[in-house]
Structure 1
Amino acid sequence: MKRTLMTMATCTIAALGQAQPINIGSRREVFWDNFIVDQDKTTATLTLHHPQFAGTVLVHDEPYEGDGCDYHNILKDDDRYRMYYLGWAMPSAKKTPRNFTPQGIRVCYAESKDGINWTKPKLGLRTYNGNKENNIILDSTDNGFDNFMVFKDENPNCKPEQRYKATAYSNRHEPKGLWCYISPDGINFTRGWNLFKLEKGQAFDSLNVAFWDPNTNLYHAYFRGFHNVQNERLGDKNVRDIRHATSTDFINWTEAKLLDFGKDAEDYPLYTNVIEPYPRAPHIFVGFPTRYVERNKWSDSFDKLTGAQERKERMTLHPRYGLTITDCVFISSRNGDCFTRFDEAFVRPGPERQFNWVYGDCYPARGLVRTPGTRGYDDEISLYIFHGHWHDIATELQRYTLRIDGFASYQATYKPQALVTKPLVFSGKSLTINFATSARGSVFVEIADLDGNSIKSSEVFGDSIDRLVGFTDDLAQFQNKPVIITFTLSDANLYSFQFK
């Protein structure tokens, strides 16, 4: 029987509508949600992995930036990556002069060719302290910004002047709520139309996400709401939540629904969501919501946690500024509503140092970037997380890396263990796998149809994100009919597979 090293919350298979053999065609498949896994026959262990720190890529040290810079979002646009973020400084109870004292919040822009080296171009669009030599694209003359998230609209019916769309909360324009901004070039934005009115159960003070999905031919929007709970947990009866709505035209939207993590899922607060289609398997959405943890009172552990004095000072502004800490979890979905969530943190605040373990840790940017691997290894996924809130220092945007497809994998001990799929239908003449073994470890693959015919692979060992598997016979004879795939693993991890 399948084992797992973590707690998972997930919708049931029935809720996902799966009954017949699953037609995977030639798309890449992963195991994060167990959707294709026969859990009764699988003995390998589903294991969550964690990104690794890879350095600082951007320092927010301009006079209009500071220790509040956040809500970074990144999009790939032809030969460059575009980044949008908020430039501002956090409130402070300190009486001494501060390093950063910008008034209001502004939307700033950066770009990169490789996702590693970023620049802040001088755009000449908005004035700060009498000078337009800056990377500000919008400021308080445009709106009282709390967030600003941009996507490039790939809908073939999109008007050229609306090719770049953004979502932003506004309490200045009527009706108050989540608004659309539009641009022909990704730089010059104008306010468009209201997307969602501010109503009971909605908040919008988060990085609200929207995008066009060609697989469903729909726009998807994920935004922040909140609901009350009866039992106080860690001091918070108002649970921050994530809601989902869809649209065919980016104007008229379905009624927003709470994300469904399954009937047995703990109902804890989630702040941002940064949901997007996973680039290597775009039929699956992935997200990295920040988990908000507000304890109800000061304790001995707060006295001993890093930054105790600064934490107490922040509490004079509001108790939660000192009593709240945050981390990040990993979620995925195949239909946009029903999500699998790993309850163990995907990103933790980490070893205690001067400026962490605060309300503001572990807020990933929206946008996964494929970057070259270190020392010539396979390419990696880069994620970006800001660091340095509350401390009157220049916020840093830090890069973290993870194996391609490597959010979670099935892992086996030295003693061979099996990963068995449900009945699948594939198309293709070859099979590639993303895997890693020890020197003595191995992967074997067997594909069997429902009539008892089967084909076996030769031994596979090594470490590659795209290894072609050798078989003893012609693989193509098994395509376009139901089959069950058995991966036998020894001291190995299996991350994904694809027929081609």
Structure 2
Amino acid sequence: MLRHFLLTPVAILAFFGAAFALPAKAAESQSSQLELLSVEKIWDAAPHNAFTDLVRYKDRWVCGFREAPSHAGGVKDSRIRIITSDDGSEWESVAALEDQRGDIRDAKFGILPDGRLMLLTALQLFDTTQQKHQSLAWYTDDLKSWDGPHDLGDPDLWAWGINFHDGVGYSIGYRTVEPRFARLYTIGADNKFVTHVENLGVKSDYPNESSIVFDDSDTAYCLLRCSGPAQFGTAKPPYTDWTWKVMNAPVGGPELIRLPDGRLLGGGRLYDGGQRTSLFWIDPDTAELTEALRLPSGGDTSYPGFVLQDDLLHVSYYASHEGKSSIYLAKVRISDLLAAADPIEIGDRLEPFVDDQLIDSFGGSATLMLHKPTDREVVISHDEPWEGNTSTYHTVFYDGLKYRMYYRGHHVEAHGSGKTKNHPEFICYAESDDGVQWTKPSLGLFEFEGSKDNNIVWANGPGVHNFAPFHDTNPDATEDAKYKAVGSKGKGLYVFKSPDAIHWELMHDAPVITDGAFDSLNLAFYDTHRRQYVDFHRHFRDGVREIKTAVSKDFIRWSEPQWLDFTGSPREHLYTNGIVAYHRAPHLFIGLPKRFIPGRNPTGHPAKGVSDAVFMSSRDGQTFHRWPEAIVRPGLQASRWINRNNLPAWGIVETASDIPGAPNELSIYTTEDYYEGDGVKLRRHTWRLDGFVSIHSPFAGGEALTKPLRFASGSADDEPPATRLLLNVSTSAAGSVRVELLESGEPIPGFTLKDCDTMFGDGIAMPVSWKGNSDVSTLAGRAVQVRLVLQDADVYALRFAGAAENDVD
């Protein structure tokens, strides 16, 4: 698929070579993604050949540039040369465009909505009594006959490039005389320039050449050359209010492209360490420029033009490193681009929208929204003599027989001079048939004050501080180890086994993991999707509580622990991690860590610090997306503002809804009354199934488009064909959801938005239909994008499933 991006203003100002050091991280981490495949000199007929642009038009390569006696402006005998090629190697001249009024300068292409090719350029006039510069354009539909020149815009405002977005052309012109500023034009149906923003408000002595692109949410990005460091601008529709940031380096002859995966790649002349034409990444949040690839160049050089085809970026530019300035064409492979564009194989699995990994773009008011669970009842109080007000580190799971709960029993008295422990730590056990009503069975295993009439399930050994059991779903698990656990002692993590979830013993005399801090609820479980055991445990990095992970095939020998990566999230104390493989979509990891803010103490309690619970998710167990907003706040209950409260139990379980006939819901549990009274209490909170995050739109309306997805074709022996698209959806009475399926960016006949039956209501697995037809089996195995158009609605998950699935999945 061809994507063409232009809009780069022309160089009229020669920079004075200011030295700005570029970040060293560029070259190593990101340059490896750019591979220079070839560079060819494609034109050198004139004494000076420069100021290029590149476009694909009617299946031909088209390159435009200036021919002149020299670089200097105001010279005679200048022209815009247009050359074309079928293969990018053999080139021929098809036009030489001149205007006798002045020195014609930079070539910039744009494809008009009517299909014609537009060449935008400018004159440096010989007669300067009225003005110095004039923008002008030519038009063609066959590359042979060129209609022009036509004057455009205002006197002494040099329009440097044109880009069309949603049928509207945008061009930034810079004023070449005092007062100097940049102006935004739009281009209407008659191809006339109309002032859209009189002055873009750039704080620079001389804003000039620019390049503008748009993303899928209609945000505009502008790379602007200035007298000093370049500046980076952003604006939302209607593009009247721009924010500008000063970048970390000057750029001459800038060009900008937005890649299909959303990254911004720029090009132009860089100055530090010698003038050269380079490609560089741009961070849109910080406006930092990171050099990624230096093209063979030097001396008089710059003004690249970009065309992207699949994973190959074709770059036209000029340089004088081999003698006189000549025109070059480089081919650069973006190594990870095709992989990012490949269809995502989802089979018939459920895909909750916990992150944006399946999302290609949003439109209108649609966005991802984090949902907070609903507070429910207190389900258990730890007020037995062997329990107490520091009972914590809960584990909750359902094994098909019972809901099981494990927690530390402990009690302290907090006072101004510190804390006094009242009894040793024990691991206690409770069970339930519904996850709401819990009992503490008398196990008769361990003695407390002369009696075994208690629910203590483990004592007097490693793990009594933080025992974390799980039901082992490994099909190779032996009968005596159907349940396993991890727990710490000192600087090591020990492993345990049990045949019945009640009677436990050590599996190994020594700790199996020692690289960690472990004074928290560390955990491990069998990952059915990746067929290995995975561990998540605490460690400190630069004094901050963070998380490490390791994997194992046998639960005894573990890999070297690695830090979790929270790219884009601030460093915070994560007191626990609470990570599970989500049982309805086991390829996803969901984490409910307790976030700890140690410096706050609103109650004046001797133990300082406050806590809340946050939400995070991962698709590989290593890199997590963590939402900054809390899912469980301390709230109005004063005791929850005391240190170590609001700690989520490890586990997310399905429980019955209180609403008659409603689907099951998800239950989680958090602590309260820590350090207060006779014992900690555990409160339940609920989400709808898959209800963590949704694609949400208010009544104003919005839409989301997925990346290409490939769902089950039934080709595998154990894989039934998918026949329906099911959505977990909730709307208001007036709200709605409509769905369109696309292939290669085009609506698929029979599955268009116009054909879709409007969805409204509330269901966990509601089928989508088009004119009464819900069968999508003809699309199985193909790369399909799902377009969701919402109004006052939420879509939590999608699934392509067989006919047996229904709306109470």
* TM interval, short-chain normalised: 0.7 to 0.9
Contact (CA 8 Å) 1:89, 1:392: kept in 2 or not? no
Q: 2:697 aligns with which of 409, 412, 417?
A: 412
Q: 1:306-345, aligned counterparts within 5 Å?
A: 307-308=603-604, 311=605, 314=606, 321-322=607-608, 324-345=609-630
| Cross-structure match for 1:464 | 763
| Cross-structure match for 1:283 | 587
Tell me the CA shift for residue 345 of structure 1: 1.1
Q: 1:255 aligns with which of 560, 563, 570?
A: 560
Q: 1:254 to 1:19 in 2, by over 3 A?
A: farther
Q: Distance in 2 between matches of 1:477 and 1:91?
A: 67
| Cross-structure match for 2:254 | none
| Cross-structure match for 2:645 | 361
SS in 2 for 1:356: helix
Q: 1:178 to 1:42 in 2, by over 3 A?
A: farther
Contact (CA 8 Å) 2:365, 2:698: kept in 1 or not? no
Q: 1:444 to 1:180 in 2, by over 3 A?
A: same
Q: Distance in 1 between matches of 2:396 and 2:698?
A: 38
Q: 1:392-403, aligned counterparts within 5 Å?
A: 392-403=677-688
Q: Distance in 1 between matches of 2:403 and 2:342?
A: 41
Contact (CA 8 Å) 1:418, 1:486: kept in 2 or not? yes
SS in 2 for 1:61: coil
Q: 1:46-445, aligned counterparts within 5 Å?
A: 46-93=368-415, 102-139=422-459, 141-143=460-462, 145-171=464-490, 176-193=491-508, 194-199=510-515, 202-228=516-542, 238-262=543-567, 264-295=568-599, 305=602, 307-308=603-604, 311=605, 314=606, 321-322=607-608, 324-351=609-636, 353-376=637-660, 377-427=662-712, 428-445=722-739
Q: 1:61 to 1:2 in 2, by over 3 A?
A: farther
Where does the alignment leave 5 or more consecutive residues of structure 1 unmatched? 4-11, 229-237, 315-320
Q: Distance in 2 between matches of 1:2 and 1:245?
A: 38
Contact (CA 8 Å) 2:413, 2:422: kept in 1 or not? no
| Cross-structure match for 1:32 | 354
Q: Distance in 2 between matches of 1:410 and 1:205?
A: 37
Tell me the CA shift for residue 2 of structure 1: 5.1
Contact (CA 8 Å) 1:64, 1:102: kept in 2 or not? no
Q: 2:741 aligns with which of 424, 444, 447?
A: 447
SS in 2 for 1:103: coil
Tell me the CA shift for residue 451 of structure 1: 7.3
Q: 1:477 aligns with which of 778, 783, 796?
A: 778
Q: Distance in 1 between matches of 2:521 and 2:537?
A: 7
**What is the aligned-residue RMSD (CA, Å)?**
2.3
For residues 99-120 of structure 1, give each alpha carbon's deviation from its aligned partner in whole angstroms, at most 9, with x where no partner exists. x964110000111111111110
Equivalent position amino acid for 1:358 in 2: I
Tell me the CA shift for residue 187 of structure 1: 0.7
In terms of Rg, which structure is larger? 2
Q: 1:197 to 1:286 in 2, by over 3 A?
A: closer
SS in 2 for 1:402: strand
Contact (CA 8 Å) 2:613, 2:632: kept in 1 or not? yes
TM-score, structure 2 as length reference: 0.54
Tell me the CA shift for residue 137 of structure 1: 1.1
Contact (CA 8 Å) 1:42, 1:420: kept in 2 or not? no
Contact (CA 8 Å) 2:351, 2:585: kept in 1 or not? yes
Contact (CA 8 Å) 1:2, 1:44: kept in 2 or not? no
SS in 2 for 1:374: coil
For residues 412-471 of structure 1, give each alpha carbon's deviation from its aligned partner in whole angstroms, at most 9, with x where no partner exists. 121221011011111211111111111111000111222732404200001111212222
| Cross-structure match for 2:795 | 494
| Structure 1 residue ranges, 4+ long, deviating more than 4 angstroms after superposition | 12-15, 40-43
Q: Distance in 2 between matches of 1:212 and 1:55?
A: 31
Q: Distance in 2 between matches of 1:195 and 1:246?
A: 15
Q: How many residues align?
A: 452
Contact (CA 8 Å) 2:348, 2:800: kept in 1 or not? yes
Equivalent position amino acid for 2:355 in 1: D
Contact (CA 8 Å) 2:364, 2:701: kept in 1 or not? no
% identical equivalent positions: 37
Q: 1:116 to 1:144 in 2, by over 3 A?
A: closer
Tell me the CA shift for residue 94 of structure 1: 6.6
Moved more, 271-280 or 100-109: 100-109
Q: Distance in 2 between matches of 1:491 and 1:77?
A: 38
Equivalent position amino acid for 1:256 in 2: P
SS in 2 for 1:482: coil
Contact (CA 8 Å) 1:126, 1:137: kept in 2 or not? yes
Q: 1:130 to 1:18 in 2, by over 3 A?
A: farther
Q: Distance in 2 between matches of 1:451 and 1:409?
A: 24
Q: Distance in 2 between matches of 1:368 and 1:144?
A: 22
Contact (CA 8 Å) 1:105, 1:144: kept in 2 or not? no
Equivalent position amino acid for 1:222 in 2: F
Equivalent position amino acid for 2:557 in 1: N
For residues 169-225 of structure 1, give each alpha carbon's deviation from its aligned partner in whole angstroms, at most 9, with x where no partner exists. 013xxxx410001111111111222444444xx210111110111211110000000
Q: Distance in 2 between matches of 1:261 and 1:396?
A: 31
Q: Distance in 2 between matches of 1:481 and 1:145?
A: 53
Q: Distance in 1 between matches of 2:348 and 2:354?
A: 18
SS in 2 for 1:477: helix
Q: Distance in 2 between matches of 1:108 and 1:18?
A: 48
Contact (CA 8 Å) 2:363, 2:702: kept in 1 or not? no
TM-score, structure 1 as length reference: 0.86
SS in 2 for 1:33: coil
Q: Distance in 2 between matches of 1:144 and 1:31?
A: 36
Q: Distance in 2 between matches of 1:63 and 1:131?
A: 12
Equivalent position amino acid for 2:598 in 1: E
Contact (CA 8 Å) 1:65, 1:102: kept in 2 or not? no
Q: 1:438 to 1:497 in 2, by over 3 A?
A: same
Tell me the CA shift for residue 392 of structure 1: 3.1
Q: Distance in 2 between matches of 1:38 and 1:435?
A: 20
Tell me the CA shift for residue 373 of structure 1: 1.6
Equivalent position amino acid for 2:455 in 1: N
Q: 1:196 to 1:226 in 2, by over 3 A?
A: farther
Tell me the CA shift for residue 81 of structure 1: 1.1
Equivalent position amino acid for 2:389 in 1: D
Higher normalized contact order (CA 8 Å, seq sep 6+, divided by chain length): 1
